[in-house]
Copies of this chain bind each other. A is one copy, B any other.
Amino acid sequence: MPNVEVCLSPELIHLFDLKGKIVVVTDILRATSCMTTGIASGVAHIKPVATLQECEALKQEGYFTAAERNGAKVNGFDIGNSPFSYMEDRFKGKKIATTTTNGTVAITKSTEADEVVIGAFLNLSTIANYLIEEGKDAIIHCAGWKGNYSLEDTLFAGALIEKIQLRFELGDDASASALTNYQAVKNNLLGTILSSSHAKRLEKYIRKDIELCATLDKYDVIPILKEGILVKK
């Protein structure tokens, strides 16, 4: 049986052996929720980059730009980090370059894996089915908040493990804890996510974003990283 492990923060990813595995990167609030929404809404591709400078430079290559730091849109970019922005008609068939506080770091640190795919509650079942079909060892890489643990990403890990647990060995303690945690709160998922420190930082601005990010299975797409860009699998 393949193995599933959970990396609770990009600061711990060096402890994992990514080779030959599928890494599911998740940053529920809000980077991977945005990416999933964008790919599902017809964005041609999304290029995650580490810095604001790289993001801005991509304007010259015809990219729209999305930039967030500490939860807020950065001035001078087309959009911030709201999944609703990624639904806009003007982005259909276009490409977006994005940089965020946590999510893009986690993607960048996952590239030694065989495949990097993007997970969110919005595409939970699709990701679960994909992992089951592929049958490879998997690592769920939680983006966290500035290197530390975040509740909402771990809850996603638990939700994903709940769906695949009959076909995967739980390979580490973090996977067991994520599952326990999710099962303890899943009947109040939105309320629990709203209680997270990240949601508290964001809530006054974006309650409707948080509600969207806590929605299960709105989309059936898998964004996958191919040569540095996220495309629809």
Contacts and interface: CB of A to CB of B under 8 A. Distances in A.
B185 A8 contact: no
A147 B172 CA distance: 13
Interface stretch (A34-42, A62-70, A149-157): A149-157
B196 A173 contact: yes
Interface in A92-119: none
A33 interface: no
A123 interface: no
Interface residues of A, number: 27
A195 B175 CA distance: 12
A229 interface: no
A172 to B, nearest CB: 6
The 7 A-B pairs with the shortest beta carbon distances in the complex, nearest first, are A151-B173, A149-B174, A184-B184, A15-B148, A180-B184, A173-B197, A15-B147
A197 B184 CA distance: 21
Contact of A151 (B15, B176, B196): B176
Contact of A8 (B8, B176, B195, B196): B8
Contacts of A172: 148-149, 197
B173 A8 contact: no
Interface in A169-205: 172-174, 176-177, 180-181, 183-185, 195-198
Contacts of A183: 184
A20 B33 CA distance: 38
A180 to B, nearest CB: 5
A15 B146 contact: yes
A78 interface: no
Nearest to A196: B173
A32 interface: no
Interface string A2-46: 000000110110010000000000000000000000000000000
Given A8-B8, A11-B12, A12-B11, A180 B185 contact: yes
